[in-house]
A and B are shown apart, each in its own frame.
Chain A
Amino acid sequence: MSSPESSPYSDTDAAPHGKARATEWPLWEIFIRGQHGLSHRHVGSLHAADAESAIKNARDVYTRRNEGVSIWAVPASAIAASSPEEKGALYEPANDKVYRHPTFFDIPDEVGAM
């Protein structure tokens, strides 16, 4: 739901967009919980003038097919994002640490699915 002019994460290198137009509503990131017991999941973004209309817009844009029982709307500007350029330092050190995966344990059949 974002237009090219929007600037969701203007503080990160990943966002080469210009500033939002003066007439443009702020961008919101929308999280929806599909059913009780599950967590909210990011489903997309949209523009809205304020928090209340962000919820309403999310209802109309993202729950048309009975997808949700709860909506969170978060101002996109409030989200801190990692930079792609730091991915080496951030993620690669985990590559060779296979022992962090719990795949070396034999799980007795009686336990069933975990």
Chain B
Amino acid sequence: MSDALFEFLCRMGDNTLVLGHRISEWCGVAPVLEEDIALANTALDLIGQTQLWLGLAGEVEDKGRDADRLAFHRDVWDFRNLLLVEQPNGDFGRTMMRQFLFDGWHLAQLKGLMGSDNDQIAAIAEKSVKEVTYHHERATDTVIGLGDGTEESHKRMQAALDRLYPYVGEMFISDAVDEEMVSAGIAPDPASLRPGYDAMLDAVLTEATLQKPADDFAHKGGKSGARHTEHLGHMLTQMQWLQRAYPDATW
């Protein structure tokens, strides 16, 4: 049980860690100052959530690893994040599309976790859900604004959706870890979140005048750790470089 719980908490924490780092890559180079600050705020929210998830994961594992240790001393095959969040930023439109696709799932997942039988998980979810509600609202507005914007912005948002949609399915695939979480009353069944997500997606994409790809093919292997895309390893060389060059350095 504690193995599966550790695995589950790493999935939650690695999602927020990897996406938080990805968004932080925009710091100082976003198209406008207001979006730059907003993205940095989102990144900080996600890194804050990471500290809670991975901190709890370390406690559950009980091998003396804290959140920092888990974030900076694991290599790519130990990461349990969704493939979606490790995808490169691309242009601003693609970054916001990725954010929107993830936030929709993230919000539903956190709302489910608020009713978790595990009090610590419910408390983390309750704190996070306020932040993520705002992330989702902001990303939704941007997807609609750019999708239903100019010819150029529409084209880019459609291209972003076409590229990222194959990574949506992984969020709703259940495996043995999920089954154990469901039967222990800890987390909702991923598949149960899909209808609500699809309804949300369809409504927003219609308003954004974007076309959902017909093919439901889903890449997988991120949250199980079986096969990440090539991008995660490159990202970790940046994110972890200090601990790799100077192991256990502190300040």
Does B141 contact A53, Cβ atoms closer than 8 Å? yes
Knowing A49-B145, A52-B141, say if A57 contacts B41 (CB, 8 Å). Answer: no
Q: For B38, give its contact among A25, A49, A52, A56 (CB under 8 Å).
A: A56
| Distance to closest chain A CB from B28 (angstroms) | 15
Does A61 contact B141, Cβ atoms closer than 8 Å? no
Q: Name the residue of chain A whose CB is nearest to the CB of B137.
A: A56
The count of chain B contact residues (Cβ–Cβ below 8 Å) is 11
Tell me whether A85 is interfacial, beta carbon within 8 Å: no
Interface residues in B124-166 (C-beta closer than 8 Å to A): 134, 137-138, 141, 145
Tell me whether A1 is interfacial, beta carbon within 8 Å: yes
| Total CB contacts across the A-B interface at under 8 A | 30
12 additional A-B pairs beyond A53-B141, A57-B34, A61-B34, beta carbons within 8 Å, are A1-B33, A1-B34, A46-B33, A46-B34, A47-B32, A48-B34, A49-B145, A53-B145, A56-B137, A60-B41, A61-B38, A64-B41
Interface residues in A76-101 (C-beta closer than 8 Å to B): none
Does B34 contact A47, Cβ atoms closer than 8 Å? yes
Tell me whether B226 is interfacial, beta carbon within 8 Å: no
Q: Give the distance in Å from the alpha carbon of A50 to the alpha carbon of B38 in the complex.
A: 16
| Distance to closest chain B CB from A25 (angstroms) | 7
Q: Give the distance in Å from the alpha carbon of A29 to the alpha carbon of B141 in the complex.
A: 21
| Distance to closest chain B CB from A45 (angstroms) | 11
CB contacts (< 8 Å) of B203 on chain A: these are none
Tell me whether B4 is interfacial, beta carbon within 8 Å: no
CB contacts (< 8 Å) of A47 on chain B: these are 32-34
Q: Is the interface of B mostly helix, strand, loop or mixed?
A: helix
| Distance to closest chain B CB from A60 (angstroms) | 4
Interface size class of A (residues with CB under 8 A): 10 to 19
Q: Name the residue of chain A whose CB is nearest to the CB of B142.
A: A53
| Distance to closest chain A CB from B106 (angstroms) | 18
CB contacts (< 8 Å) of A53 on chain B: these are 141, 145
Q: Give the distance in Å from the alpha carbon of A62 to the alpha carbon of B41 in the complex.
A: 11
B interface, CB within 8 angstroms of A: 32-34, 37-38, 41, 134, 137-138, 141, 145
Q: Name the residue of chain B whose CB is nearest to the CB of A28.
A: B34
Q: Name the residue of chain A whose CB is nearest to the CB of B149.
A: A49
Q: Give the distance in Å from the alpha carbon of A25 to the alpha carbon of B145 in the complex.
A: 13
| Distance to closest chain B CB from A51 (angstroms) | 12
Q: Give the distance in Å from the alpha carbon of A57 to the alpha carbon of B39 in the complex.
A: 11
Q: For A56, give its contact among B32, B33, B141 (CB under 8 Å).
A: B141
Does B32 contact A60, Cβ atoms closer than 8 Å? no
Q: Give the distance in Å from the alpha carbon of A46 to the alpha carbon of B33 in the complex.
A: 9
| Distance to closest chain B CB from A4 (angstroms) | 13
CB contacts (< 8 Å) of A56 on chain B: these are 38, 137-138, 141
Between-chain CB contacts (< 8 Å), 7 pairs: A1-B34, A46-B34, A52-B141, A57-B34, A60-B38, A61-B33, A64-B37
Q: Give the distance in Å from the alpha carbon of A89 to the alpha carbon of B189 in the complex.
A: 73
CB contacts (< 8 Å) of B33 on chain A: these are 1, 46-47, 61
Q: Name the residue of chain A whose CB is nearest to the CB of B42.
A: A60
Q: Name the residue of chain B whose CB is nearest to the CB of A25.
A: B32
Q: Give the distance in Å from the alpha carbon of A75 to the alpha carbon of B25 in the complex.
A: 31
Q: For A57, give its contact among B38, B134, B137, B145 (CB under 8 Å).
A: B38
Q: Give the distance in Å from the alpha carbon of A57 to the alpha carbon of B38 in the complex.
A: 7
Q: Give the distance in Å from the alpha carbon of A99 to the alpha carbon of B13 in the complex.
A: 67
